[in-house]
Amino acid sequence: MEGNSMSRTFVFGYGSLLNELEVQRTLPGKAIFGHATLIGWRRKFNKGGLDHRYLNLVPANSEVRQVEGTLIEVTPAELAALARREPGYEMVDVTSQVVAPPEDSVVLAFIAPSFEKLLVRRSYLERIRPGVPPEEWEQWLQETDFSGISTEVVGIENASMDEEG
């Protein structure tokens, strides 16, 4: 993430940071530097919150996909303020995927890890199982939404554990 001392740092805004009033709410007096195009990504509401989902960037299936956004030039202190505003997101260097980024710059985007790649640990299922009556375990599994998670990855194919499992 750190470039040489001569580089400028920008944040690529693709959701609420498209709105200058939202930028100024976190960074008083800050203006949007300009607009930018990010190649190879698409927007998706897949970052979980307490009671709703937030917008995120996910890799596109092909380089044809692109996201239009804003560039906000930031100091290290402003970047830290944005990081506090965006918990659960990681700062990812997307400079090489921005069409014509400002010269001598680093462009960062706040991107949440893909929850679709996260595993459901068998040990977690084993911690839940004692709380479910044995005769209801199979039904509990069937009524639980594991969408977007491969059953091979989760270990569901043998989550109906025998006494020896």
* pLDDT above 90 as % of the chain: 45
pLDDT of 158 reads 43
Q: In terms of domains, do 104 and 128 share one?
A: no
133 has pLDDT over 80: yes
Query: Residue 109: which pLDDT band, with cuts at 50, 70 and 90?
Result: very high
- Verify that 104 and 75 share a domain, yes or no: yes
43-91 pLDDT, tens digit each:
887 776 666 678 888 888 765 588 999 999 999 999 999 999 998 899 9
d(CA 81, CA 62): 33
**129: pLDDT strictly greater than 90:** no
pTM of the model: 0.69
Range of the domain at 71: 8-114
> Using DSSP, how many helices (H) and how many strands (E) does the chain show?
5, 7
Q: How many domains does the chain have?
A: 2
Query: Residue 141: which pLDDT band, with cuts at 50, 70 and 90?
Result: confident
